[in-house]
A and B are shown apart, each in its own frame.
Chain A
């Protein structure tokens, strides 16, 4: 195929599919093994410094924050991150000094809440290196290519733009139509962290609501830690197999963490904790504020249960449940105004 253009972005997490197949055959057991463990053990066993990390969920939706805090607590360093609409997770990890490099589809923003003070500061000072740009669908299809065991997927986005120029994609002439087509390279994250509604002790997992990219991500990542709101039995899984999104042989560790997505939203269970996110957005305006935040909510608490107490305990968590069920209005404390409609 004729190569018409090569993106100059760094190629992150690409592997020859044969190399990955060999790795999978050697390292991913098909045995039904009880994989339950603590967040601390899961992170210490399956996340190494320098890993290419991808988080499940989307923005402030169904993000495994329990593991994000554990990465910070265990002082993982030099992580390279998939910025695939990585918002709160990447902001906190970058601020905590865990991430050195990122490939950006959407990062540095909290959607309607505004931009991320801490991770923008890191990018603008050069402390964080943006090694490639891509689009959301582009990242999604990098995972799809990985999941399919292919070297790349042809796509029709990014063409003609600087996003492609700074990506790791290539443009070739499609041998069927003769038109230029973009090829996004497969991505094989070293580790993915995904929060789910329910799973059994082997890792068979169910997700309610949108899947975002987690079907593909769970299948292309080498190591996968699943955190779950609830443990269910293998019989429950086998009774409704159509509900299984992630089968056990993809999963390396199962961590039961109720409210493990806090302060992000867990569909049907609890809304995002906008008060807590506003506190982060306000404190993270300075490096000192970041230090205080991490001391209060990560280093100063032994585990996620203690963190939940620190953010307001059962009263707050019940309130988030009521907001998610439309029984109580949502709040937007980050949108403070002076009464004249001005920020």
Chain B
């Protein structure tokens, strides 16, 4: 048995995600790690972070980890309990700065699959479908995707393009009719954070997490990711962030001990 590390890869993921959020931003969050990142940001550097939930809760101070994005834990000290029509319309009209999503598969353009593995008609694995992900990634000014990276999740071609990233490259979102200036901003995994090249709209590395080598990035991706020179190292969690994650936000380890 090794000693308990100072932080786990999942905790690092949550902290890196949390630090991408700014105070007084609006964030549309999904269940699990995206929500944990938002809860952590609210308790540290971004107390004015405005949370949107698709089922209709707006602006809550979430006291403990909700199981569902419609859970009553998402209503706690909210500014409004509204409807999906309202939350989604506000997003479509431009009131959401950041959309924060999970994913099963992602491709070099930041497109996401959460619908099927295999063919649509005869899937080897049926997944839940878009949920609100397609909507959030269509409407939010910036989308951040958080997922566990492996050669099976970072794929050159998705089995099903559930949710739009940059589709097939520069200008494709606008040509398809998606709101102008939107698209994926960052992808965060247990190994690194990635951005998108402004010209090719393909994924590039933005920072490697402490101790991660370029070889591990290559081994854990089904497509080539340009690593560039002198990549920065991702920020390391503070003791306070780890304490909040373990003692306040997810004390039972429902998400963080995965």
Docked-complex contact A332 and B129, CB < 8 angstroms: no
CB-based nearest A residue for B67: A112
CB distance from A60 to the nearest CB of B (A): 6
Docked-complex contact B72 and A271, CB < 8 angstroms: yes
Q: In the complex the two chains form, what is the Cα distance from A332 to B256 in whole Å?
A: 14
Q: In this assembly, does B83 line the interface, its C-beta being within 8 Å of a C-beta of chain A?
A: yes
Q: In this assembly, does B82 line the interface, its C-beta being within 8 Å of a C-beta of chain A?
A: yes
* Residues of chain B lying within 8 A (CB to CB) of residue A25: none
Query: CB within 8 A of A330: which of B56, B64, B75, B130?
Result: B64
| Contact A61 B70, CB 8 Å, known A140-B88, A157-B138, A182-B177 | yes
Q: In this assembly, does A310 line the interface, its C-beta being within 8 Å of a C-beta of chain B?
A: no
| Contact A161 B161, CB 8 Å, known A136-B131, A332-B252 | yes
Q: In this assembly, does A341 line the interface, its C-beta being within 8 Å of a C-beta of chain B?
A: yes
Instruction: Provide the A240-262 mask, 1 if CB < 8 A to any CB of B, else 0.
Output: 00000000000000000000000
Docked-complex contact B127 and A157, CB < 8 angstroms: no
Q: In the complex the two chains form, what is the Cα distance from A144 to B254 in whole Å?
A: 36
Q: In this assembly, does A284 line the interface, its C-beta being within 8 Å of a C-beta of chain B?
A: no
Q: In this assembly, does B235 line the interface, its C-beta being within 8 Å of a C-beta of chain A?
A: no
CB-based nearest B residue for A179: B177
Instruction: Provide the A128-152 mask, 1 if CB < 8 A to any CB of B, else 0.
Output: 0010011111101100100000000
Q: In the complex the two chains form, what is the Cα distance from A332 to B71 in whole Å?
A: 14
* Residues of chain A lying within 8 A (CB to CB) of residue B160: 162
Instruction: Provide the A108-130 mask, 1 if CB < 8 A to any CB of B, else 0.
Output: 11011101000010011010001
Q: In the complex the two chains form, what is the Cα distance from A171 to B84 in whole Å?
A: 23
Instruction: Provide the B110-149 mask, 1 if CB < 8 A to any CB of A, else 0.
Output: 0100010000101111111111111100110000000000
* Residues of chain A lying within 8 A (CB to CB) of residue B54: 136-137
Main secondary structure of the interface of B (DSSP, over half): loop
| Contact A157 B92, CB 8 Å, known A107-B129, A136-B131, A332-B252 | yes
Docked-complex contact B88 and A137, CB < 8 angstroms: yes
Q: In the complex the two chains form, what is the Cα distance from A194 to B56 in whole Å?
A: 17
* Residues of chain A lying within 8 A (CB to CB) of residue B72: 61, 209, 265, 267-268, 271, 324
Query: CB within 8 A of B254: which of A163, A271, A335?
Result: A335
* Residues of chain A lying within 8 A (CB to CB) of residue B88: 136-137, 140-141
Docked-complex contact A156 and B55, CB < 8 angstroms: no
Docked-complex contact A160 and B71, CB < 8 angstroms: no
Which residues in window 159-184 of B have CB below 8 A to A? 160-164, 167, 172-173, 175-179
Query: CB within 8 A of A133: which of B55, B75, B129, B173?
Result: B129
Docked-complex contact B139 and A106, CB < 8 angstroms: no
Q: In the complex the two chains form, what is the Cα distance from A137 to B90 in whole Å?
A: 11
By a beta-carbon cutoff of 8 Å, the part of chain B in contact with chain A is: 8, 31-32, 54-57, 63-65, 67-72, 75, 81-85, 88, 91-92, 111, 115, 120, 122-135, 138-139, 158, 160-164, 167, 172-173, 175-179, 252-255, 257-258
A-B contact pairs, 29 of them (CB 8 A): A60-B71, A61-B70, A61-B71, A83-B129, A105-B129, A111-B31, A112-B65, A112-B254, A115-B127, A123-B123, A124-B125, A135-B130, A136-B54, A136-B130, A137-B54, A137-B92, A137-B135, A140-B84, A160-B167, A161-B111, A163-B115, A163-B134, A180-B175, A212-B84, A213-B85, A215-B85, A268-B72, A332-B67, A341-B8
By a beta-carbon cutoff of 8 Å, the part of chain A in contact with chain B is: 57-61, 83, 85, 104-109, 111-113, 115, 120, 123-124, 126, 130, 133-138, 140-141, 144, 155-163, 166, 171, 174, 179-182, 209-216, 265, 267-268, 271-272, 274, 324, 326, 330, 332, 335, 337, 341, 343
